[in-house]
Amino acid sequence: GESFPAFKLERETLPDIDWIAKSLEGLKPVRAGRFLVHGSHDRDKVKPGDIGILIDAGQAFGTGHHGTTAGCLNMIGDVLKSRRVRNALDLGTGSGVLAIATHLMARMPVVATDIDPVATRVARDNAKINGIANGIAFATAPGFHHAIFREHGPFDLIIANILARPLMKLAASLVRHLADNGTVVLSGILSEQRWKVIAAYNGAGLKHRRTTWMNGWVTIELVR
């Protein structure tokens, strides 16, 4: 690794504030296609025809204000409008927002997994808050080593909003869980990492369909 001899490390003591909750107090709802991700203070912003998703600031990543979440929501909306999707997997579900959006729009079974048990719990709670009693199966699972993938797969749509490096490492096993005419939506990828990710999925047998850009982040759609 590189060393930075001139780089001084300074410690700063931060007061114990829940920064995510703090930053969300003043946030506006996020609109992505028909989806409107909002906090409980903005329920009144949901218009007829909107698919409103209530996500209050939790401990898990994914309130909708990040370029990757909004990019994914837009792309998921397009995919669900343009083809028949019978089931979906949301890998690295975080707050559960993408799994919830997918289920609310298409009313089909969704599997949502995360490496972090806290995220899995938050996502499960968020599904309940959004009126989903069953329809989303949650599991804490690193990679694809869990019975839930075999029980519910293969999947017509796989959504993975994680980070470029784990996405590249998971390419072969992710594609193994994809149905024959399946679609993959990937995000959590910085623009400059885009070609490496596409190359990894080309190597696993998928074709690049399109890329969308948002604030330096990209969302990539791939098909068999």
Strands 207-214 and 217-223: antiparallel
Residues of the chain with pLDDT under 70: 1-27, 57-67
Per-residue confidence (pLDDT) for residue 15, from 0 to 100: 54
Whether residue 113 contacts residue 91, with contact meaning beta carbons closer than 8 Å, is answered with yes
The pTM (predicted TM-score) of the whole model is: 0.85
Per-residue confidence (pLDDT) for residue 60, from 0 to 100: 46
Got the DSSP string for 169-212? HHHHHHHHTEEEEEEEEEEEEEGGGHHHHHHHHHHTT-EEEEEE
Which residue, 174, 110, 113, 184, is CA-closest to 142? 113
Two structure tokens written together for 57: 């600031």
Per-residue confidence (pLDDT) for residue 35, from 0 to 100: 95
DSSP 3-state of 164 = helix
